[in-house]
Each structure stands twice: as C-alpha cells, then as structure tokens.
Amino acid sequence: MAWRSVGANNEDLIRQLKDHGVIASDAVAQAMKETDRKHYSPRNPYMDAPQPIGGGVTISAPHMHAFALEYLRDQLKPGARILDVGSGSGYLTACFYRYIKAKGVDADTRIVGIEHQAELVRLSKANLNTDDRSMLDSGQLLIVEGDGRKGYPPNAPYNAIHVGAAAPDTPTELINQLANGGRLIVPVGPDGGSQYMQQYDKDANGKVEMTRLMGVMYVPLTDLRS
C-alpha cells in the first residue's frame, strides 16, 4: 500500500485511515478508536508502519489491522469464536473483543490470542490490563502460549481466524479448525519471497474457497526453534 500517515493521537490516526478509505465502516473505526495503540506499541504508536515490540517481533501497521477487521467483520458477532494467531502485543485481539462487544453480549463469545513466545504472552496481558482490565477479567478474551500454526483446538471451531505472520504454504490445520461459514485471512508465501494475503471461506457444507487479496510482506510464522 503506497499511502502512509502519522496521527497526532489515536483518534487522529483512525480519522485519517477512514478519510483515505482504509477503514470503510463506522464499527471498525469505533473499535480502533477505543483501542489506543499507545498501550500496545511503545514506539511511534500513531505511525502507519510496523513497529518493534520486542523478541524480534513487530506490531503490524495500523492499515493492516484495519483491513483485517474489515475483511472479518461479518464473522465478528456475539457468540462467535475468534482466533488471532501470532497475537503479539494483543492490539488486534483487543479490537476484535471491542468490535464484538459493541454488537451485543453473549456468554459464548471467545476471542483467543495465541503467541509462541512466553515473554510476548506476558507483555500482551500486561498491555491489555493497562488498556482495560475488564477484557481479560471477562473470561471471553484469552491469551495463550502455543504454536499457532497448529491453531488452538480447545476453542475450535472458529468463525474467524486471523494470522499475523506468513505461512509458507496453505495452512491446512487452521482451515480444519474453521467453522462452516467461517473465514480465515493469512499471509502466505516464503520468507523474503512473494507473499499474498489470502482469504479462505468455508461454506455451510464445509467446502473451502480461496481468494487472493493483496501482496504483502510479513515475517514468517515460526515456533521458538525455527
């Protein structure tokens, strides 16, 4: 994406993303306004570019988080189960929580962020509690440590899955954990090579259709040993 922006504050950043058509819906704008990036990005929180958060990991640029919310918004409903693979700082996981909560309250709602670095699990929980402790206290937003390439079976199947790092090829295990009617968005391609954001939709009969959305550049989806 050629356009870049720096906001004076979080609200200004979101306004600019909306003015430039990156954010298409008021509901996505509101969820991002309520989730101030200063709690999740210690450096340049309002710059529309990836920023380091530690452990060799970055928080994605705001426009990529906006795209994720827009592409998944039809699946983000009260009672839904959402998986955020490579949840990093916890920012997008918090946006998912707030987006759904604004639509209504359902005891079955679960938003799971999975991260393989223990230090990032600790950091993201601290970020979420600094932002609003009630998110984790609700029991509906969970941050777990694990290999996100294998999904998180305890809360499967998921209505929406977002992956924040590039899978080298089709993420079969994540597709298997997608509910009928669900949607997965994931960057696919080799590290340093051509990568594309791909959307996988599973219909009511379990048939999967892939749509290539855009060219992207992400770090590879790994575990601690790779």
Positions annotated as catalytic residues are 60
Distance, in Å, from the CA atom of 80 to the CA atom of 161, rounded to the nearest integer, reads 11
